[in-house]
Every structure is written in structure tokens, then in C-alpha cells.
Amino acid sequence: MAREKNTPTTHAPNAPAFLAWHVTQKGEKSYWTKVGAAWAHKDGQGFTLQLETCPINGRIVLRAPLEDTPPQDDSGRS
């Protein structure tokens, strides 16, 4: 069975489809730290995830990048 080529994303060339965030919980506050990014495959059937660091606790959340805001530092985000 041949694979069909799909292009579901409209991101700029080489721009990640998602940013990877490490999320930890301390009390009622969540702390978000950017740890990598994910790029869609050309065939639309998967993603390549590149992590700059690999957390051993918490969780990793993939979120679409915000296009109209400047990059944020690694301070808490909730």
C-alpha cells in the first residue's frame, strides 16, 4: 500500500510544529521550562522530537508555538 503525501501544517520552513515543555507541579503552581521542539514529517504521519535535555520527573507537554509573541525565558508559566 502506497503512502499518500499530506501537508497538514502551514509552518514556515524548518519552524517546529510544537514546542516541548517540561512541566513540574509545586503546590498549586505549575512551572514550565522549554526543553525542545517537534517537527512534522512531510508525509503527515508523525513527528520528530528533539529534546535539549531529558527531565527525570514531571511531564513533557507539546504545545503549538505562539506566533505573535517574543520567545519567553524559562521562568514559571501557568
Say which residues have a Cβ less than 8 Å from residue 63's Cβ, sequence separation at least 6. Answer: 18, 19, 21
CA distance linking residue 26 with residue 12, whole number of Å: 36
In this prediction the pTM is: 0.68
pLDDT tens, residue by residue, 40-52: 999 999 999 999 9
CA distance linking residue 9 with residue 67, whole number of Å: 14
CA distance linking residue 48 with residue 22, whole number of Å: 17
Residue (of 56, 61, 62, 51) closest to 17 by Cα position? 62
pLDDT tens, residue by residue, 18-41: 999 999 999 999 999 999 999 999
pLDDT tens, residue by residue, 52-71: 999 999 899 999 998 754 45
